[in-house]
Amino acid sequence: MTDRQGFRVELAPTLEQRARLGQHAGLSRVVENFCLEKVKAALEQREAEKTYGIADSDLTPVPWSAPALERLWRLEHRDRYRWFTEEGLSSRVPKEACRVRAAGFKNFFDSRSGTRKGRKVGFPDWRKRKHGSRFRYDADRARPLSARVVALPGVGKVSTFEDMSWLTDRIPDGRARVIGSTVREQAGRWWVSFQLEIDRTDINERRAVSSDAPACGIDVGVKTFATIVDDDGVVTEIHAPKPLKAALRKLRRAGKAVSRKRLGSSNRAKAVQRLAKVHLEVANRRADFLHKTTTMLARSKRAIAVETLNVAGMVTNRRLARPISDLGFGEFFRQLEYKARWYDSSVWAADRWFPSSRLCGGCGAINRDLTLADRVWTCGCGIEHDRDVNAARNLLNAMTLEQQAA
């Protein structure tokens, strides 16, 4: 059975290769803006044609799809962007840039019609340098050649800082196949992310959760990231590093340094690089914590009960927005779900309106006066509850009852 998975390694390019990577990132940005220009021009043309009474079926077609956008690029790039051919840049990058732009248009229409989950997305906007450097290759055009060398069309053979034996050992015998790749720059460092179709059977069986492992309920919160109650009564608390909170002083200092430098100066560019480095450190610390925590849970618990949080709604609270975003609740639940599938565990999510914190685990009464400030509360039946432990235990009991009923 194959699964979709990403595999990211940091590149170690030479100065010449860095320049080529930057050229391809610029090419991708140019093509995306070219596509948006053509779509907006077609829309404006249609509006003008409507004023002349032209029937809808005869109006100028809008190139929404990737093939239509690619066709326009092939027709015009020789005259408008001669440097593309002269510099010998990869032809696969414009192809993927057109697909990225077409996907943005589709997401906009799906979001507007309600067929796309999540918050509403707007109409695609112009891509600028400040939005970051990245570009894509289709299929296996970019691929690992050995444990520490990657082949990137238009760039050449680029060394990596990390060993890729885990991937290169699986490609020859068909256990892994590269279906796409993205090259991205952050804080002056370059990464390549391979999108894979991979057979994880041997890994999953070797690391599968034990059949006698406990089931658990998990309550997540701002003060204590996760309160875990096992079905054998063991209570465990996990505290998050809160990397953004820890780095706020450093971020403020780096941000002020950027604002004090003259626009367009080399000193400002260096200050921006230092600020980006701090942001990257924050993101890496958060990702490291989330991956280690979710892997531990998926490999040590046979069944996991969690709550369903409206994270997008929670961050609208100006007092909670920063700490909630710092913790990464949405990414925690996402990782937990796919890792549980890998390691033969299961994740059960309660209904969004399930009163896990307000429900008394003894008598079943609901405390409707409970506030976020109440960490401990006493029910009318006399039982004193720790808010987080009670919520985790209620989630575990609800999952157990549903499984028994099934």
Q: For the segment 356-391, what is each residue's pLDDT rounded down to a tens digit?
A: 999 998 888 898 888 888 889 888 888 888 899 999
> Which of 177, 199, 221 corresponds to the end of one domain?
199
Question: How many CA atoms lie within 13 Å of 146's alpha carbon, on the beta-carbon side?
Answer: 6
> Which of 142, 169, 199 corresponds to the end of one domain?
199
Domain assignment present for residue 274? The answer is no
Domain assignment present for residue 62? The answer is yes
> Which of 170, 199, 228 corresponds to the end of one domain?
199
Domain assignment present for residue 79? The answer is yes
- Could you tell me the CATH number of the domain that includes residue 235? 3.30.420
Tell me the residue range of the domain where 155 lies.
Answer: 2-199
What is the pLDDT, as a whole number, of residue 406?
A: 67
Q: Kindly state whether residues 132 and 217 are assigned to the same domain.
A: no
Q: How far is CA 61 from CA 42, 56, 64, 358, in A?
A: 7, 10, 9, 56
Domain assignment present for residue 248? The answer is no
Domain assignment present for residue 280? The answer is no
Q: What's the mean pLDDT when you consider all of the chain?
A: 94
Q: Kindly state whether residues 182 and 222 are assigned to the same domain.
A: no
Q: Kindly state whether residues 323 and 194 are assigned to the same domain.
A: no
Q: How far is CA 32 from CA 44, 132, 244, in A?
A: 19, 13, 32
What is the pLDDT, as a whole number, of residue 375?
A: 87
Q: Kindly state whether residues 47 and 75 are assigned to the same domain.
A: yes
Domain assignment present for residue 397? The answer is yes
Number of structural domains the chain divides into: 2
Q: How confident is the model at residue 404 (pLDDT cuts 50, 70, 90)?
A: confident
User: Which of 231, 222, 240 has the alpha carbon at shortest distance from 322?
Assistant: 222
Domain assignment present for residue 265? The answer is no
pLDDT tens profile 170-208 = 999 999 999 999 999 999 999 999 999 999 998 999 999
Q: Kindly state whether residues 82 and 187 are assigned to the same domain.
A: yes
pLDDT tens profile 112-145 = 998 988 778 999 999 999 898 999 999 999 999 9
pLDDT tens profile 13-50 = 999 999 999 999 999 999 999 999 999 999 999 999 99
- Residue 364 gets the label, from left (phi > 0), alpha (psi -120 to 50) or beta, of left
Q: Kindly state whether residues 33 and 174 are assigned to the same domain.
A: yes
Report the predicted TM-score, pTM, of the whole model to 2 decimal places.
0.90
Q: Kindly state whether residues 213 and 192 are assigned to the same domain.
A: no
Q: Kindly state whether residues 34 and 57 are assigned to the same domain.
A: yes
Residue 311 has pLDDT above 90, yes or no: no
Q: Kindly state whether residues 342 and 398 are assigned to the same domain.
A: yes
Task: Order the strands of the 143-146 sheet from edge to edge.
Answer: 133-138, 176-186, 189-199, 2-12, 156-160, 149-152, 143-146
Q: Kindly state whether residues 195 and 216 are assigned to the same domain.
A: no
Domain assignment present for residue 250? The answer is no
Q: Kindly state whether residues 165 and 192 are assigned to the same domain.
A: yes
Long-range contacts of 225-234 (CB under 8 A, 24+ apart): 225/293, 225/327, 226/293, 227/388, 227/389, 227/391, 227/392, 228/297, 228/392, 229/389, 229/392, 229/393, 229/396, 230/301, 230/396, 231/396, 231/400
Q: Kindly state whether residues 10 and 94 are assigned to the same domain.
A: yes
DSSP letter at 48 equals H
